[in-house]
Every structure is written in structure tokens, then in C-alpha cells.
Homo-oligomer: A and B are copies of this chain.
Amino acid sequence: MSARATTRPGGRSARVQQSVHQAVRDLEAEVGRGALTVPLIAARAGVTPSTVYRRWGDLRELLSDVAVERLRPDAPPADHGGLRADLEAWTVQFAEEMSSAPGRTYIRDALLGDPGQGSAVRCSDYAAEQLKAIGVRAAGRGEAVPDLETLLDVVVAPLMYRILFRPSELSQAYVGRLVAAALGRAGSPSGT
């Protein structure tokens, strides 16, 4: 996704985005993904095709934008009273969502229609924001917290790598080992 898709909430731009996204979701359910075209989506959304092309570039970029919206977490991470429990619960849920059939499709769409990698960065930022919230809460309880880049390397990266490159069951024991490895790294240096 490019900067074209930046919106001001409540403005015309936000209304166009909402109706176009809704049209994609509805038509995907009704006619299937293979039958989606920009003119069809524009007609359903009540905008001109050129509005869609101007804003999203092409169908693939539009699908990428819609996919990222679907990957956006709809709530802050649940509070289970401690860092390990919070991290484990979040990681189990993240692994389940991302490795589900719809999750895999959204990740592929996000990566595919996205030559500038903006959609992929937004996906990663969603996970980063959730992990940051867990970390801030834990620090407030006086717990030692691994830094964000370490959590991304040790918890998120292995899950996404296995989902994309080594399809396998992501067992709860495996998730537990990732979290344990991350907790063992509280205070490690990070940065790429």
C-alpha cells in the first residue's frame, strides 16, 4: 500500500475507504475472489472505477489493503495478571489467527499486493503494538520485560516463518517454548 490510502477519519476519504472495503468483503462472499474486478467493486461501493484506481493502484493493492484491515487487532491484549501469562495467551491467539485458512490468505494478500511493503509493515506494527502494551503493563507491575525487537525476533518471527515457509502444527508446547526463550532474554541488547 502506498501513502495514497492515508485517510482522515470521518472525511470523504474515510467514507470511500469504508464503502470500498465493505464492497470487497461482500462481493468476495457472494461471487468469490476469482470474480472480483475493480469495476464490479466500484459499482457496489457507489464510486467510479477511477476513484479506486487513483487511490489503490490496482485490484491487488486494494486486496492487500483490505487484508491488512482484517489483520488489525480489535481489542488490546487480555490481562492475565503476569507477563508470562499475558505473552502466552497473546501468542497462542496470534498463532491461531495467523495459521488459520483466512489468516494465511490475508497474510499472502498483504504481502502480494504490496511492492512498497507498506502493508507488510502495518501487519508487523499491529503485532508490535500489542506486544508493547503487554510490556508496558508488565513494567508497571515491576516485571523485567524483554525489549520489543527481541520479542519480534524470538516470538513473532518463528511463528510467521513457519506459517509461510514450513507449514506445520504450531503446538501449544512450541508456543510455550518461544515465550520461555523470550522471557530468558529480558534485558538483552536488540536492534538490527
Q: Which residues of A contact B (CB under 8 A)?
A: 108, 111-112, 117, 120-121, 123-124, 152-154, 156-158, 160-162, 164-171, 173-174, 177-178, 181, 185, 188-192
Min CB distance A155 to B, Å, is: 10
Checking B160, B166, B171 against A161 with a beta-carbon cut-off of 8 angstroms, the contacting residue is B160
| Additional A-B contacts beyond A152-B161, A161-B161 (13; CB < 8 A) | A124-B161, A124-B165, A124-B166, A153-B161, A156-B161, A157-B157, A157-B162, A160-B161, A160-B164, A164-B164, A166-B192, A174-B192, A177-B190
Tell me the dominant secondary structure on chain A's binding face: helix
Residue contacts A-B, CB under 8 angstroms, 29 given: A111-B111, A111-B112, A112-B112, A117-B167, A120-B165, A121-B165, A123-B165, A124-B166, A152-B161, A153-B157, A153-B158, A153-B161, A154-B158, A154-B181, A157-B160, A157-B162, A160-B164, A160-B165, A161-B161, A162-B192, A164-B164, A168-B192, A169-B192, A170-B192, A171-B191, A171-B192, A174-B191, A177-B188, A181-B185
